Structure 1
Amino acid sequence: MEKQLIPVRILKSRLQDPTYSLGVTFLALSLILFFIPELSPFAKDSYYLNLFFGNHFLTCVYFLALLFSGRMKRGRGGLPLIILFLLLFQVGAFALNRSVQVFPESVTWFSVYLFIIAANCAAFAYQRFFPLPVRLGMFFLLGASLCVFLYLSIYIGMLAIIGMFAFFFFGLSLHAILPHLFFLYTIRLYNRHKGGSRAFTIAFFSGIGVTMLIAIVYTLIWRVNVVGIDKIYHKKDADNGLPGWVNVLQKVSPGPITQQVLTSDAAYVVPDSKDRFVGRRSSISRFQIMHDPLVMIAAFVAGTSDLSWEDRGLLLNAMDNEHADDEVHLWSDQDLVTTHVQTFTHIWPRLRTAYTEKIINVKNEDGDGRISQQEAIYKFHLPEGAVVSSLSLWIDGREEKGILTTKGKADSAYTAIVGYERRDPSVVHWREGNLVAVRVFPVIGGEERQFKLGITAPLSYEHGKLVYRNIDFDGPSVSRAREKTSISFETPPADLNFSPVFSKTSRNNLSHDGRYNEEWQLSLLDEGLKHQVFSNEGRMYTAMPYRREMGASNVTAVYLDINQTWHSNEVGTLLSMLPQQPVWVYAGNSFHQLTASNQSAIFQQLAAQRFSFFPFHLLPDPETALVITKSVKASPRISDIGASDFVVHMKNWMENRHAVMLFNLGGELSPYLRTLKECRTFRYDQGDLAALKTLLDTYQFPVNIENDQQVVIEAADMVITANNGYAPSTAPDHLQRLFAYNHIMQGMGPHLLTGGDTSSELVEEARKAHIVTPLSSLIVLETQQDYDRFNIKDSNDNLKNAALNNNGAVPEPHEWLLIAGAVLLIIYLKYRPSFPKRIA
């Protein structure tokens, strides 16, 4: 019992030392000042500097206390006090680094490690009262910390010399010599406390050795990755025509060190040159530059990859499952955050259709007292076959609805107003892969803007279920955003399943109110499509189940589009299913016939690829070729790989309007294949191996049944038809919008990618349906004069913006006559008794 009280007595004796107690108190106060911005971040950098001066004041006072007390002299037991002073100095250095950055923000592991070794240094004041295993650990950490302080001393290099000469400026520059002081006093701590113990010496040098070993092993792995990446990258013009960064992304296996090699220069500070151990900063603005000692050492010793800045940015976007930022930024968006997301969805189960409104609040957190105008850009990922059917922007607290116009007019008006006149507009454009980009300007410093986007989308039909997934987006950070979601159903859903974030408020409603969560979904039993009609301007729109029409396949060769999603047994099964047809794969920039003897080796090579870009333009006989694929959603788009030889040859090939048979064994199509499918490049089908075998055995494959009267929405397993005639509308106007969008995509075909003339009839169809397409955009301008100046006019014969509280149906001319007749009849019946009297 007495032995257990010894550390308590020692602590009391330490605290009874006024100089030591003062140091502990000052250190606690300094830590509180340091962590204030972490707990309640300030908008202005000047607050960081003010808080630093509080840290610096405590450090200076304590230094004077040590100086005048004489405790810094040899033999006065001042080593624990000096360690406290150095720790105070260290807190001040990190506080100053927020305003005058010498080190970028450290990665989490290094920040935690610095805290641990600092605490270890302070604990040496009591080390002889700890059990032996703990003391050995303390000496091990002391050896490791010696390596850390040596690294920091080298990193800060010449700045320390400059700091010595500029010390007269309130001693601020002396923070640069702090790592050197820690290095020297770490050695002194070791010499002071090791005594004659050989075990402590072994533990100390073990800490040094293990730290150096970790750095050496990490550097070797780094070098292997750099050499491998550069070897793949410099083959970019070999044969396949793809850019080098695509080959790197495709063939390099992802791993922690590989990720750091690829993001060095962008997400991590690296040496400025081979001869200078000074940090170089990133020019890829979307990354927060971080300081990792292992990355810095490895990059200095083993070098960095040769990837260009442009290619590195494209590769990193793709690695993060983001697409290249191909939007022209007229203004900065660095201080914008998303604060609120409201989602209101109405679902028609018996039409396999949903309409969703996303109301988004974006705030400019630049609160430095000056007027700061920034531009918010959001990209929404729409389901296959979905279309934007409304846009609103709140101006002076009032909702202003969007007007549909051609893409060129909308872009000209927005660019002119935002680039030069700096007034209120918002615009939404279609992008490849059924992305839509929404731009909002201006978002003033310290203020919020609100906009609304309406999306008409088919539900996904999956194994007898209808699935609705949240429509996610990229844009200003949603890390602190709140979300309110409400989902309603036109008819009571059967067998409803939904994500745990929701609560069921009634039989026909779901709701959620809390932190933003983009990955929610719901499913319900498909009860079949009910015959419903939407009529407008002499056209009737009806949804029906998609019944595939089969045609002769005449397959002469089968091609497997193999990537990491495939399993070896699938390849073996396919080979056994296809004894008559040759089976080919694309490997090593050429086609190879797959056989039982080379199957394993070729599969291992191709299955190592994260995704694939099958070269349809190299098929010798595309009309009789069957390509079997399994897709990876996270891969580049065609627009991401720009004007590469691969894309040039692909566009030339598409001009001939080939129809390759493509069978998808599973998964959502990659952006590359999805774009080609939107261009109507394929005779398409999907299913499992059993469904494929049925097609092969019967020598049949689905044919394209789309024409000017019907479109296929395969994700929803339905067809929408448009026929001349009239019937009372029992369906919402979303049927016309879905038909129009998919008919326009079908009509454009390869022109989606290749460009060229587009029928004016398609432009007119987009206008009447009031939808965003490759040909049309929605725009909100501030005044009617702005619309007049750019010749943007709203017409009365289109559907207008979609809305939740009505179906948008427009009465036919003869319906207006019926309505007018009914009104006159009511008036006549109401006032009929008075008519004879008046006549008399």
Structure 2
Amino acid sequence: MKYKSDFLEYYIQKPGVIFSFIITIFSSILLVGTLISKKLHFDYFIFIALLGLIFEFIYGVGLSFVILRKKEKYVHLTPFLITNWLIGCFCLNAFFPLFYDLPIWVYLATLAFCLSNFLIYRNSDENRETSISYFINGLSFAIIVYFTIYLLSLMPFSFVAILALGLGFYGLVPALVLIIHIVTIMRHLNRNRINYISFGAGFLMIIIGLTVFTIGLSIESRKIAQSVRIQSFDHNNELPNYIAISQRLKPNFFNEILLKKDIVYIPIHDILTYRGFDSFGSKQYNERKINNPIVSIAYLFCQDLNLDDDDRINILKSNFDKRLEAEEQLWSGENLITKNIKEDVKVYPEARLAYTEISMKIECTEDSRRDQEAIYSFQLPEGSVATSLSLWVNGIERKGVLTTKEKAKAAYKQIVGVESRDPSLMQWKEGNKVVVRVFPINRENPRTFKCGFTTPLKVEDNEMKYQSLSIKGPNISNAETISRIQMAGNTNITTSKDFELKKNFYINKSKGLDNWEAIIPLNKALPSTSFAWKNKVYEVKDIQKIIIPFTPSEIILDLNSSWTTKQIESFVELNKQNVFVYVNDEKKEINKENFRAIEQEFEDLHYSLLPLYKISENSLIITKCGTFSANFEELEDSDYLKNIKAETKQRNLKVINISSDINPFWQTAKEQKYITYFQTSLKNSLKLIEQKRFILFKTDTNAVNIEPANISIVESPQNNSLKSNGPNHIYRMYAFGKVLEEQVKIQNDSLSQNQYVELAKDANIVTPISSLIVLETDEDYKKNGIEKNVDTLGNASINNDGAVPEPHEWLLIILGSTILLFYYRKNKNQTS
């Protein structure tokens, strides 16, 4: 330490050091201010950057002239010169994209390079041990090499641009620093072999790490490129081009980086083109573009995937769950944070339902002025439905109004994209997802919104299970979260995270949003629970399973990479003559002799898309799902989906899933009744085939089955024997099931579509044909042709879930109130 302090004191006394130190600190402050201002979208960051450039230019020219004239006297100031040159580069990058957005580690590496230079460049004959400084310098020197390579193609332009206020000079800075440093380091390394080894070890460590990463990325790129070439021979014209690649692409760290080339990560050869949100063809991807040196260099040694941007975004959506990032976004939301979350759950054990209300407060990062748009994605348990939305406007809660999805989307685009005022929008998405949008949010206007979801309790063995919602959105991980559970009735509950019982509520405080579950004992005898609405009663009953005789015309094994050899063998050993698989869209018999060879065809197929419209009537499909696949929305324009919609339902296909998971494709096919679906174990599925049976859930025109909860909700005319003793969520679940059930029918039937929009409005549920929207004023609803819902259930609420009085009940209530008021006034007059 004494040596370091002595050296610092000695160095400060040298000519020009204090002045250069002050200039460097001032320039560094301007650079940090520029970066923060740009990050927070301050309009005046360009002024700060230009001020920094002026200081850097004047100081750099002056110091360069002084060093060239009196080298011996001022050469010790070379580290200051290099540092200020690089600061100037970063300031220029703020408004002219020399390097685009850089990861923070790049700035830290450059800082390490500049600081280590002060020890290495010192003009001293002392042979002190500085191996650590040389090692750090060797590590960080790689970033200067990268900057030089990156700007190599810009150098001719830089020479010309020097005439424009000298700004073009900064395009030459990395190359000048590289030359100066190589000359200096070679002279200094000869003095001490240990320093030579230290510098080389630091630089070599970077090269080795980069090589290992590049080899891994290159191997994966060749696999994908080869797959693209192979699949081009077997291309199915009914499916989009990217599907074959998506099906055989196992998600991993390297594949995601390769797919994000040009979309998120900028390759070195792309420096002369800048592309914003609208540069990805027809699709948008809401992740800022980054110049990551390690990734950019590795791209140079990777094969081109021969996939356009739209195809790669679709693969990111299906294989990497990046559907939220690919949502259309009218305004940026990169500076938003979720400040706090309130998770309020009410469980109705007798109805086997729960209602979850999520309240969120969203803020901009400190001092951000520009309006931002927040987008949240809610992954719901199977069978769940969104039933409420509220947005606080000027401190007042405004509740959502339910309308058609087209009207809601058009109103949101108009008000956000054109008028830049208050709305919030909740939309249904395939795969049990709901997307909520909130606008505007800025530093002076944090926003609070609330949304509610009705979910079935999943029945397993002798237990009912509540599963918390999975939520993606702006920086949720650091939110202050309070979770509360309340039970309707006296029922025990156990949870996977610690809840403390306070005043009949279970309370938990935490950071972020954990995945948790609650277990409730199952009553073997389902209590009589019902809800009355508009002269109808909706009663919760046990679901009825029916075992029917079923001899399939064919058995189709829907193979993929998750199947084991033993599982495939179990089916071929049944010695059935009608067991087939689809290989490259062609049906092929599978038996004891060829099943091992056929298995190899599927060893890298991670999800399938069977041609359901080609499968023989009354066939049985055995599938084993994973969790990801393309969904109907992404296949919307394909001939494949058009054929499924036109020709599948009438084929009476039955599906057994031997996995507990279900992917988005099969989920939608099940919900929209294209197939009859049953989930069970491998053992039970083999037993059913042997016995020539199939298990159905009994259906009726006036009933909706809620399979996860093992219940059926039955509609019947209201009579005196059934009273409304259950929550209104019973009717909401019934309505949701009816809308989904009729989705196939309403594709080309506008009358039916209007009918089911009215049903969705009545129950206030978000469905494939309806959305909830909050607008700032009542006038906004009128302008956009949206009628406020009258005589409907309205938005669900954690505190108001009971029966709504029927008209005759309202009459009795009014009559009773009038009589009470009459007696109250009469008694008051007598007393006075």
TM-score by length of 1: 0.84
Is the aligned partner of 1:516 residue 2:512? yes
Distance 2:324 2:420 in 1: 26
Alpha-carbon deviation of 1:572? 3.7
Residue type of the alignment partner of 1:566: W
Q: 1:184 pairs with 151, 163, 179, which one?
A: 179
Distance 2:413 2:36 in 1: 40
Cα deviation, 1:551-600, whole Å, max 9, x if unaligned, reads 11213543333334434443344444x33365433333323333445444
1:385 matched to which residue of 2? 383
Alpha-carbon deviation of 1:763? 4.0
Q: Is 1:633–1:668's contact at 8 Å kept on the other side of the alignment?
A: yes
2:630 matched to which residue of 1? 636
Q: 1:460 pairs with 451, 458, 461, which one?
A: 458
For residues 606-617 of structure 1, the aligned pairs below 5 Å read 606-617=602-613
Residue type of the alignment partner of 1:662: V
2:759 matched to which residue of 1? 765
Q: Is 2:402–2:789's contact at 8 Å kept on the other side of the alignment?
A: no
Q: 1:149 pairs with 136, 144, 152, which one?
A: 144
2:396 matched to which residue of 1? 398
Distance 1:21 1:790 in 2: 66
Q: Is 2:53–2:92's contact at 8 Å kept on the other side of the alignment?
A: no
Q: Is 1:496–1:524's contact at 8 Å kept on the other side of the alignment?
A: yes
Alpha-carbon deviation of 1:660? 2.1
Distance 2:433 2:16 in 1: 65
Unaligned runs of 5+ in 2: none
Q: 1:129 to 1:742 in 2, by over 3 A?
A: farther
Residue type of the alignment partner of 1:690: K
Q: Is 1:341–1:358's contact at 8 Å kept on the other side of the alignment?
A: yes
2:692 matched to which residue of 1? 699
Residue type of the alignment partner of 1:664: N
Distance 1:771 1:10 in 2: 73
Is the aligned partner of 1:738 residue 2:729? no
Alpha-carbon deviation of 1:732? 1.0
Cα deviation, 1:213-262, whole Å, max 9, x if unaligned, reads 77677666655544543443463671373322222222134444433222
Q: 1:756 to 1:20 in 2, by over 3 A?
A: same
Residue type of the alignment partner of 2:575: P
**Which piece of structure 1 moves more, 165-174 or 771-780?**
165-174
Tell me the secondary structure at the aligned position of residue 268 of structure 1.
coil
Q: Is 2:56–2:88's contact at 8 Å kept on the other side of the alignment?
A: no
Q: 1:831 to 1:44 in 2, by over 3 A?
A: closer
Residue type of the alignment partner of 1:716: A
Cα deviation, 1:684-719, whole Å, max 9, x if unaligned, reads 222322332443343321124122222111122221
Is the aligned partner of 1:90 residue 2:86? yes
Q: 1:555 pairs with 552, 557, 565, which one?
A: 552
Tell me the secondary structure at the aligned position of residue 247 of structure 1.
helix
1:815 matched to which residue of 2? 809
Identity rate, percent: 26
1:566 matched to which residue of 2? 563
Tell me the secondary structure at the aligned position of residue 557 of structure 2.
strand
Cα deviation, 1:273-311, whole Å, max 9, x if unaligned, reads 7xxx75664634512212233443454565633212222
Distance 1:254 1:833 in 2: 78
Q: Is 1:72–1:82's contact at 8 Å kept on the other side of the alignment?
A: no
Distance 2:419 2:128 in 1: 73
Alpha-carbon deviation of 1:736? 1.0
Is the aligned partner of 1:580 residue 2:576? yes
Residue type of the alignment partner of 1:247: A
2:664 matched to which residue of 1? 671
Tell me the secondary structure at the aligned position of residue 397 of structure 2.
strand
Alpha-carbon deviation of 1:12? 4.9
Distance 1:585 1:434 in 2: 29
Q: Is 2:627–2:662's contact at 8 Å kept on the other side of the alignment?
A: yes
Tell me the secondary structure at the aligned position of residue 708 of structure 1.
coil
Tell me the secondary structure at the aligned position of residue 744 of structure 1.
helix
Distance 2:184 2:762 in 1: 81
Q: Is 1:243–1:641's contact at 8 Å kept on the other side of the alignment?
A: yes
Q: 1:526 pairs with 509, 522, 528, which one?
A: 522
Q: Is 2:287–2:325's contact at 8 Å kept on the other side of the alignment?
A: no
**Which piece of structure 1 moves more, 541-550 or 44-53?**
44-53
Q: 1:799 to 1:674 in 2, by over 3 A?
A: same
Q: 1:95 to 1:462 in 2, by over 3 A?
A: farther
RMSD of aligned Cα (Å): 4.2
Tell me the secondary structure at the aligned position of residue 639 of structure 1.
coil
TM-score by length of 2: 0.85
Q: 1:423 to 1:549 in 2, by over 3 A?
A: same
Cα deviation, 1:26-79, whole Å, max 9, x if unaligned, reads 6566556655677896541524752774587478558757866x6974555x55
Unaligned runs of 5+ in 1: none
Residue type of the alignment partner of 2:345: T
Residue type of the alignment partner of 1:588: N
Alpha-carbon deviation of 1:102? 0.7
Distance 1:796 1:56 in 2: 65
Alpha-carbon deviation of 1:548? 1.4
Residue type of the alignment partner of 1:195: N
2:434 matched to which residue of 1? 436
Q: 2:532 pairs with 527, 535, 548, which one?
A: 535
Distance 1:484 1:269 in 2: 40
Alpha-carbon deviation of 1:332? 6.2
May I ask how many residue pairs the two structures share in their alignment?
818
Cα deviation, 1:326-375, whole Å, max 9, x if unaligned, reads 86656666666554443322111222211222334445679787xx6665
For residues 401-420 of structure 1, the aligned pairs below 5 Å read 401-411=399-409
Distance 1:302 1:279 in 2: 20
Q: Is 2:423–2:776's contact at 8 Å kept on the other side of the alignment?
A: yes
Cα deviation, 1:639-697, whole Å, max 9, x if unaligned, reads 1123223222222222x433322222223311111100011123222232233244334
Is the aligned partner of 1:714 residue 2:712? no
Tell me the secondary structure at the aligned position of residue 466 of structure 2.
strand
1:246 matched to which residue of 2? 243
Distance 1:170 1:145 in 2: 30
Q: Is 1:22–1:62's contact at 8 Å kept on the other side of the alignment?
A: no
Distance 1:755 1:225 in 2: 47
Q: Is 1:49–1:96's contact at 8 Å kept on the other side of the alignment?
A: no
Is the aligned partner of 1:648 residue 2:642? yes
Tell me the secondary structure at the aligned position of residue 724 of structure 2.
coil
For residues 304-453 of structure 1, the aligned pairs below 5 Å read 304-323=304-323, 338-363=338-363, 376-411=374-409, 424-440=422-438, 446-453=444-451
Q: 1:713 to 1:825 in 2, by over 3 A?
A: same
Q: Is 2:341–2:359's contact at 8 Å kept on the other side of the alignment?
A: yes
Q: 1:117 to 1:602 in 2, by over 3 A?
A: farther
Cα deviation, 1:463-505, whole Å, max 9, x if unaligned, reads 43333333344555546654443332213442411335xx424
